[in-house]
Structure 1
Amino acid sequence: MKIEMEPIGYVRNKVKDRKDVSWGEDTSSIILDEEYISGLKGLEDFSHVNIIYHLDKAKYEKDKHLQRRPQNRDDMPLVGIFSQRGKDRPNRIGITSVKIVSVSEDRIVVEGLDAVDGTPVLDIKPYYPVYDKKEASVPEWVDRLMEHYF
């Protein structure tokens, strides 16, 4: 089965190269294609959104990425790609919950989006705490991994 999608817009920010840390310092604009602009109506009443995007610069290689140490760090355990949020994934899909800075006619400005400039955006969904924030647990290595991420 082949699935095809078209972007609804693109990320614009100062991040030109892929990176693994300090995403919390970045502010990004998601500029929508004209046909989707009216879909932003009401989003200004939310504090956060989930951004779904295409990791177009990712290069998944099964032998290299199916199991690896997160961020290729020696202090991390060897785990499968589905146990981490690495960018080199089989279907190159990214999803991040981010804080809304502002919503205007054709764009949404957010903080903490881990996507480089020009990344195609596939969808924007409002963050609903009842769905998105559940009590959850993670292995201890995730806390160490994320120390400098945001």
Structure 2
Amino acid sequence: MRIEMEPIGYVRNEVKDRKDTAWGEDTSSILLDKRYISGLKGLEDFSHVIIIYHLDKAKYEKDKHLQRRPQNREDMPLVGIFSQRGKDRPNRIGMTSVKVVSVSEDALVVKGLDAVDGTPVLDIKPYYPVYDKKDAVVPEWVNRLMEHYF
């Protein structure tokens, strides 16, 4: 089976190179294709959204990425790709919950999106606490890994 998607827009920000930390202060605009602009209506009433995007600069190599230490850090355990949010994934799909800064006629401005300038955006979903934040449990190493991410 082959699945094809078209971007609904693109990320615009000052981040030109992939990185593993310090995304919290980055502000990004998501500039929508004109066909989807009216789909932003009502989003200004949400504090957070989920951005789903194509990791177009990722390069998945099974032998290198299927199991690895997150961010290639020696203090992290060896885990599978599906136990981490690494960017080099089999299907190059990225997803991040971000804070809404503003909504204009043709753009959504967000803070904390871990995507570089020019990244294709596939979808935008409103963050619903009842769906998206439950009593989640993560391994101890995840908290250490994320100390300087945002």
**TM-score between the two structures when normalised by the length of structure 1:** 1.00
Per the alignment, residue 48 of structure 1 pairs with 48
Per the alignment, residue 83 of structure 1 pairs with 83
**Aligned partners of 1:103, 1:146: CA distance in 2, in Å?**
28
Structure 1's unaligned 5+ residue stretches are: none
Per the alignment, residue 104 of structure 2 pairs with 104
Q: Secondary structure at the match of 2:145?
A: helix
Deviations 1:74-122 (A, max 9, x none): 0000000000000000000000000000000000000000000000000
Q: Secondary structure at the match of 1:71?
A: helix
**Aligned partners of 1:98, 1:25: CA distance in 2, in Å?**
11
Alignment RMSD, CA only?
Answer: 0.3
Per the alignment, residue 135 of structure 2 pairs with 135
Structure 2's unaligned 5+ residue stretches are: none
- 1:25 shift after superposition: 1.2
The number of equivalent residue pairs is: 150
**TM-score between the two structures when normalised by the length of structure 2:** 1.00
**Aligned partners of 1:84, 1:30: CA distance in 2, in Å?**
25
**Aligned partners of 2:53, 2:89: CA distance in 1, in Å?**
13
Write the letter of the residue equivalent to 1:66: L
Write the letter of the residue equivalent to 2:145: L
**Aligned partners of 1:146, 1:128: CA distance in 2, in Å?**
22
Per the alignment, residue 12 of structure 1 pairs with 12
Write the letter of the residue equivalent to 1:97: S
Deviations 1:30-66 (A, max 9, x none): 0000000000000000000000000000000000000
**Aligned partners of 1:94, 1:20: CA distance in 2, in Å?**
14
% same residue? 89
**Aligned partners of 1:70, 1:38: CA distance in 2, in Å?**
39
**Aligned partners of 2:61, 2:127: CA distance in 1, in Å?**
32
**Aligned partners of 2:25, 2:149: CA distance in 1, in Å?**
9
Write the letter of the residue equivalent to 1:83: S
Q: Secondary structure at the match of 2:24?
A: helix
